[in-house]
A and B are shown apart, each in its own frame.
Chain A
Amino acid sequence: MIGSIVDGFSAVVVALGVLFFALGTLGLLRFADAPSRLHALTKVDNLGLGLIVLGLLPQVAFPLGTLKLIAVWLLALLAGATTGQLLGTAVIAGAGNPSPASRADDAGHADLAPADPPVLPGAGPT
């Protein structure tokens, strides 16, 4: 009887986690600019992952399985926070600009720099 209560708890919390995950992905698809999409990805998706981990804690072997689950969740939190800050800095520095259609001369670099024409040396006032 306690087993079915625990299973019910797992089922509900895992369903909530998957729902938050779907909402975060919806935000990633539908938000207007890159920093908002970054928020949706790193906060809401990690909340969904945390709820899934919480729901799965009674379902795996104790102690090694639960320790692994908690380690996965902590690593995902750390990685999400760090990657969010790093990506946010990169977006502000210019990786958030749309890629121009014609960058064929770009030696394969991603569209990360602002699309200004390079200033040639010697092009100062004559």
Chain B
Amino acid sequence: MSAYLLAMAAVVLVVVAVGLARLLAGPTAADRLMAAQLLGSGGVAALLLLGAGTGDDGVLDLALLLVLLAAFAGVAFVLGAARASADTTPEQPPETGPGAP
């Protein structure tokens, strides 16, 4: 059973490695963040399988931490995106009164 769970953890890691191609290909920053989120949840799945496969329940704490970090990474990206799009919003041209040359 433990060998089977460790093999499943390796399969999950291979799937995540293939999914990271979206990091290279993704045309936008949001796509690259999605690849990072995939790494987060895939890493959590692999850690859970490793923890159960080796019988070491301390690995489950690592999985909890990784889930929290992945959530914060997503929130940080969206906050940065909001700030960046606010910085590059085109400024309004100043109000011109009745046209006096």
* Co-complex (A, B): yes
What residues of chain A have their CB less than 8 Å away from a CB belonging to chain B? 7, 10-11, 14-15, 17-18, 21-22, 25, 28-29, 34, 37-38, 41-42, 45-46, 48-49, 52-53, 56, 59-61, 64-65, 68-69, 71-72, 75-76, 78-80, 82-83, 86-87, 89-91, 93-99, 109-113, 116, 118-119, 121-124
Please state if B52 and A60 are interface contacts (CB–CB under 8 Å). yes
- 7 A-B pairs whose Cβ atoms sit less than 8 Å apart in the complex: A14-B49, A17-B45, A18-B45, A34-B28, A34-B34, A60-B57, A82-B74
Cβ A72 vs Cβ B75 within 8 A: no
User: Which A residue sits closest to B86, measured CB to CB?
Assistant: A113
- Contact: B48 with A53, CB < 8 Å? yes
Q: Is the interface of B mostly helix, strand, loop or mixed?
A: helix
Cβ–Cβ contact B75 & A86, under 8 A = yes
Would B93 and A68 count as touching, CB distance under 8 A? no
Closest CB in chain B relative to A118 CB, distance in Å: 5
Interface flags, B16-50, vs A, CB<8A=1, else 0: 10110110000111110111011001101100110
Contact present for B19 and A25 (CB under 8 Å): yes
Flag if B48 contacts A52 (CB, 8 Å).
yes
Contacts of A94 in B (CB 8 A): 85
| Given A60-B51, A68-B60: A95 in contact with B28 (beta carbons within 8 A) | yes
Instruction: In the A-B complex, list the 9 residue pairs whose CB atoms are closest, starting with the nearest.
Output: A79-B71, A83-B74, A25-B19, A98-B27, A113-B88, A119-B90, A110-B29, A68-B60, A86-B78
- Taking CB as reference atom, which chain A residue is nearest B82? A90
Please measure, in the bound complex, the distance between the C-alpha atom of A75 and the C-alpha atom of B63, giving whole angstroms: 10
Task: Specify which chain B residues have a CB less than 8 angstroms from the CB of A91 in the assembled complex.
Answer: 28, 30
Cβ B78 vs Cβ A28 within 8 A: no
Please determine whether A110 and B31 come into contact, CB atoms closer than 8 angstroms: no
